[in-house]
Chains A and B, each alone.
Chain A
């Protein structure tokens, strides 16, 4: 069974991302939304935590925060709300790491 992990808080504010990565398994996807998108910024200390994971970032939340897609670490997929819905359907369940 696969899981969609949602992380909505900044990794510099809260430990949710740190805890979450210990729970991601093969076949799971980690979707960063709201303040969670900061984790995917290249050069940030938190970016290292995402290594080896299937990571997507919600585009509208990046744009709102003035983060250009060129500022993200490699391998991260930028998605819109429609793709967010598709991810919920594609995985068997959703875990919100608030």
Chain B
């Protein structure tokens, strides 16, 4: 089964990102293919590398980066939502004249077309939100 997962909420505030992560991990363990994980609305905040969560709790952002590295996942942060919320990569910093970037490893910023394409190319779309 080819899956696209949509994450609508940011780390810690809602359980959405956790549920999405655990679901994605379980799907990979069963040998399914993750076409894309698309982060929309506040979900783009999962893509900042600047979090410092407490040592005794899970590191939501790092977990996604590690899963992406281990399985060559395509983690996409929506550009329009990212611009609104301040998630920036080199390209965006240059285009919008920002003095810093904060995108976490394994994530890339791209258009909403990537979500639509996920819906077209995948067998299932699973949405996690509030």
Contacts and interface: CB of A to CB of B under 8 A. Distances in A.
Q: Do chains A and B touch in the complex (CB under 8 A)?
A: yes
A80 B125 CA distance: 19
Interface string B106-130: 0000000000000000001111111
Contact of A88 (B8, B29, B126): B126
Chain B's interface: helix, strand, loop or mixed, by majority? mixed
Interface stretch (A47-55, A68-76, A89-97): A89-97
Interface stretch (B18-26, B67-75, B80-88): B18-26
Interface residues of A, number: 19
A96 B128 contact: yes
Nearest to A9: B130
Contacts, number: 53
24 contacts: A8-B16, A8-B128, A34-B15, A34-B16, A60-B22, A80-B26, A81-B22, A82-B29, A84-B26, A85-B26, A86-B30, A88-B3, A88-B27, A88-B124, A89-B32, A89-B124, A93-B124, A94-B125, A94-B126, A94-B127, A96-B126, A96-B127, A98-B127, A98-B130
Interface of B: 1, 3, 8, 15-16, 19, 22-23, 25-27, 29-30, 32, 124-130
